[in-house]
Amino acid sequence: MNTYKIAVLAGDGIGPEVMEQALRVLDAVEKKHGFRTERTACFVGGAGIDNCGKALPAETLAACEAADAILFGSVGGPKWDTLPPDERPERGALLPLRKHFSLYANLRPGICLPELVHASPIKPSLIPGGFDILCVRELTGGMYFGEPKFYGERDGETIALDTLVYKKSEVERIARVAFEAARGRRRKLCSVDKANVLTSSVMWREVMNAMAPEYPDVELTHMYVDNAAMQLVRNPQQFDVIVTENTFGDILTDEMAIVCGSLGMLPSASLCQGSESFFGLYEPSGGSAPDIAGQGIANPIAQILSMGMLLRYTCKETAAADDVDRAVRNVIAAGYRTGDLATGAEGEIRVGTAGMGDAIIAAID
Ligand code: IPM
Ligand code: MG
């Protein structure tokens, strides 16, 4: 029987409660599809700081190294907001994990299901039937990690400096992930850049164009990032796969998430291509939501779908991953709603975190 090692980093806020549901659903799919997982629970984020003195404790990193994949909850909260920026849960845990494991490909699906069109801030008449976008964000390059970084005095002035740098090879590897992803979907790839201003974007666009002939079945287009930000709220249905650099992707994916309706629905995968499959960190797109933590009302779907992405990209358990996605769609279609999704419409079944987990498990069996 295939066995996969998973490092489980539930983190802070709603992380532990939504993670509990994701692991219950994982139990159900394992039983049905005949594979096993070995799970190691570790501290991360604020829980890492409180228990081990660091957002990313050494023993957590070691457990991640020994694993095939990381299932991540969420980190951060008001308790740790007064720490210096580099030590805070978000930056102190996530950025080092991304860099350490070279998780250069960040896949963020933005799906607005037909039943949840009303939850989007976009007028329902503009998005009939919902939409389904995949944003492929480059995650280990650009301004986040570019050197030099500097904050200090120079020529009698205080200056602060970040560097936006990309190697051609870094753009090529993310381009390939995006073209392949488009091939598995509606075969449309929109590359987002700022080639009218930024030199790094000029190279980005050249690399995309140079790879296009290898994917004659994929239609490649280019869009400036300012226009893309506008088009996402004007007509998200025009997009299939979007590929973009790190900082643009950070901004656009928050925008994409909210136009989908609820952050509580959106998973993500941060991947590094191995020889046969991806090593990856899988996490909900939403944050730790400290305001509703511990009340049993958080939507666990983003965490459950993140676990599904882990089965798809790391374990290659495609049937099981399809099953998770299908079960989620079915419970939404059947009317199950956590608070973030509810409108009070007739036929809605209001559930909490565990109730949503129960419904999804019932839909798996
Ligand atoms: C994200 C987050 C992170 C980022 C922060 C928490 C460092 O906003 O995953 O989008 O900027 O990448
Ligand atoms: Mg972000």
pLDDT digits (tens, 9 = 90+) for 39-67: 999 999 999 999 999 999 999 999 999 99
Q: Catalytic: 316?
A: no
Task: Identify the pLDDT of residue 343.
Answer: 87
Interatomic CA distance for residues 161 and 155, integer angstroms: 14
pLDDT of amino acid 2:
96
> CB within 5 A of ion ligand 2: which residues?
250
What count of Cα atoms within 13 Å lies in the side-chain half-sphere of residue 162?
Answer: 7
List 144, 215, 282, 313, catalytic entry: 144
Distance between Cα 250 and ligand 1 center (Å): 6
The response to whether residue 90 sits with its C-beta less than 6 Å from ligand 1 reads yes
Classified as helix, coil or strand, 342 is: coil
Query: Average pLDDT, whole number, for the chain?
Result: 97
Nearest ligand, CA 251: 2
> Does residue 361 register a pLDDT over 90?
yes
How far is the C-alpha of 354 from the C-alpha of 24, rounded, in Å? Answer: 10
Q: Per DSSP, what are the bridge partners of residue 26?
A: none
CB 300 within 8 A of CB 359: no
pTM for the whole structure: 0.96
Query: CA torsion sign, 110 to 111 to 116 to 120?
Result: positive
Q: Is 91 in the pocket of ligand 1 (CB under 6 A)?
A: yes
Element holding 350 (H helix, E strand): strand 349-350
Longest Cα–Cα distance of the chain, Å, equals: 69
Q: Is the pLDDT of residue 168 over 90?
A: yes
Say what the pLDDT of residue 220 is.
Answer: 98
Ligand 1 atom at minimal distance to the Cα of residue 76: 6
Known catalytic residue: 215?
Answer: no
What pLDDT is attached to residue 265?
93
Q: How many C-beta atoms surround the C-beta of residue 94 within 10 A? A: 24
Token pair listed for 106: 């960040």
* pLDDT at residue 276, rounded to an integer: 84
pLDDT digits (tens, 9 = 90+) for 193-243: 999 999 999 999 999 999 999 999 999 999 999 999 999 999 999 999 999
pLDDT score of 171: 98
pLDDT at 243: 98
Report d(CA 305, CA 300) in Å as an integer: 9
pLDDT for the residue 275: 79
Listed residue (309, 299, 295) closest to 264, CA to CA: 299
Q: What is the rounded average pLDDT of the residues 319-328? A: 98
Confidence at 23, pLDDT banded by 50, 70, 90: very high
Residue type, 124: P
**Which phi and psi angles does 112 have, rounded to 5°?**
-110, 105
pLDDT tier for residue 107 given thresholds of 50, 70 and 90: very high
- What was the pLDDT predicted at 365? 87
pLDDT at 34: 97
Residue 79 has a CB neighbour count (10 Å cut-off) of 13
CA distance 357 to 351: 9
Which residues fall within 8 angstroms of residue 11, CB to CB, at 6 or more apart?
44, 45, 46, 47, 72, 73, 74, 75, 89, 93, 288
**End-to-end alpha carbon distance in the chain:** 20
Tell me which residue has its CA closest to atom 11 in ligand 1. 250
Q: With pLDDT > 90 as the criterion, what percentage of the chain qualifies?
A: 96
Q: Which tokens is 277 given?
A: 């499959």
Residue 235 Cα to ligand 1 midpoint, Å, equals 25
State CA 94 to chain mean position distance: 12
Q: Is 250 in the pocket of ligand 1 (CB under 6 A)?
A: yes
DSSP state of 219: E
- Taking the CA of residue 94 as reference, the ligand 1 atom at the shortest distance is 7
Q: For residue 208, which amino acid is it?
A: M
User: Given a cut of 90, is residue 79 above it in pLDDT?
Assistant: yes
Joined together, the tokens standing for residue 351 give 């559930």
Please check whether residue 297 is in contact with residue 333, taking contact to mean a CB–CB distance below 8 angstroms: no
Cβ atoms of 117 and 126 within 8 Å: the answer is no
pLDDT at 170 over 90: yes
Query: Mean pLDDT throughout 140-151?
Result: 97
**What does the alpha-carbon distance between residue 22 and residue 28 come to, in Å, rounded to a whole number?**
10
Decide if 194 is catalytic: yes
**Is 7 exposed, middle or buried, given 0-12, 13-18 or 19+ CB atoms closer than 10 A?**
buried
Q: Prior bond to 284 cis, omega within 30? A: no
> Could you read off the pLDDT of 267-300 as tens digits, one per residue?
999 999 987 889 999 999 988 999 999 999 999 9
Dihedral Cα 329, 333, 335, 341, nearest 10 deg: 60
Q: How far is CA 81 from CA 19, 43, 78, 92, in A?
A: 23, 18, 5, 12
> Looking at 86-90, 124-128, 280-284, 312-316, which range is the least confident one?
86-90
Q: Residue 232, by phi and psi: left (phi above 0), alpha (psi -120 to 50) or beta?
A: alpha
DSSP 8-state symbol, 87? G
Asked about 226 being catalytic, the answer comes back as: yes
Report the phi/psi class of residue 347: left, alpha or beta, with left for phi > 0 and alpha for psi in -120 to 50. Answer: left
